[in-house]
Amino acid sequence: MLRKSLFPLLVCLTVPAWTQTLSETLPNGLKVIVKEDKRAPVAVSQLWYKVGSVDEQPGKTGLSHALEHMMFKGTPTVPSGEFSRRVAALGGQFNAYTNRSETVYYENIAAANLPEILKLEADRMQNLNFSDKEFTNEMSVIREERRQRTEDSAAGKMWEHIYLNSFTSAPLRASVIGYMNDLHTLKAEDLRAWYQRYYAPNNATLVIVGDVDAKRTLQTAARLFGSIPAKNQPPRNQINEAAERAPVSAETTSAVTRQPLIALSYRVPALRRTDDKMPYALDVLSDILAGNSSSRLDKNLVRGKQIALSAGAGYDILSREMPLFTLTAMPNNGVSSQTLLAQMRAEIKDIADNGISSEELKRVKNIAESSEIYARDSIVSQASLMGQLETRGFRYSDEAEIRRRLQKVSAEDVQEAAKLLTDSRSSVVVVKPAAAAAPAKK
- Domains of the chain, residue spans: 21-226, 248-433
306: left (phi over 0), alpha (psi -120 to 50) or beta: left
The confidence score (pLDDT) of residue 177 equals 98
Task: Output the 3-class SS for the chain.
Answer: CCCCCCCCCCCCCCCCCCCCEEEEECCCCCEEEEEECCCCCEEEEEEEECCCHHHCCCCCCCHHHHHHHHCCCCCCCCCCCHHHHHHHHCCCEEEEEECCCCEEEEEEEEHHHHHHHHHHHHHHHHCCCCCHHHHHHHHHHHHHHHHHHHHCCHHHHHHHHHHHHHCCCHHHHCCCCCCHHHHHHCCHHHHHHHHHHHCCHHHEEEEEEECCCHHHHHHHHHHHHCCCCCCCCCCCCCCCCCCCCCCEEEEEECCCCCCCEEEEEEECCCCCCCCCCHHHHHHHHHHHHCCCCCCHHHHHHHHHCCCEEEEEEECCCCCCCCCEEEEEEEECCCCCHHHHHHHHHHHHHHHHHHCCCHHHHHHHHHHHHHHHHHHCCCHHHHHHHHHHHHHCCCCHHHHHHHHHHHHCCCHHHHHHHHHHCCCCEEEEEEECCCCCCCCCCC
How far apart CA 391 and CA 407 sit, in angstroms, is 24
How far apart CA 97 and CA 83 sit, in angstroms, is 16
* Whether the Cβ atoms of residue 216 and residue 104 lie closer than 8 Å to each other: no
Pick out the chain residues at pLDDT < 50.
Answer: 1-15, 17, 437-438
* Whether the Cβ atoms of residue 98 and residue 2 lie closer than 8 Å to each other: yes
Residue 200, exposed/middle/buried by CB under 10 A (0-12, 13-18, 19+)? buried
How far apart CA 372 and CA 204 sit, in angstroms, is 26
The confidence score (pLDDT) of residue 18 equals 55
Beta bridge partners of 46: 106, 207
Residues in contact with 229: Cβ distance below 8 Å, sequence separation at least 6, in sequence order: 28, 126, 200, 201
The confidence score (pLDDT) of residue 295 equals 96
What radius of gyration do the chain's Cα atoms show?
Answer: 23
Q: Which of 24, 36, 56, 68 is catalytic?
A: 68
The confidence score (pLDDT) of residue 369 equals 85
The confidence score (pLDDT) of residue 441 equals 57
* Whether the Cβ atoms of residue 64 and residue 98 lie closer than 8 Å to each other: yes
How far apart CA 387 and CA 395 sit, in angstroms, is 9
User: Do 21-226 and 248-433 show the same overall fold?
Assistant: yes
Architecture of domain 248-433: 2-Layer Sandwich (3.30)
Span 21-226: which CATH code? Answer: 3.30.830.10
Residue 163, exposed/middle/buried by CB under 10 A (0-12, 13-18, 19+)? buried
240: left (phi over 0), alpha (psi -120 to 50) or beta: beta
The confidence score (pLDDT) of residue 372 equals 81
Identity of residue 374: Y
Backbone phi, psi, residue 52, to 5°:
-150, -165
Residue 321 annotated as catalytic: no
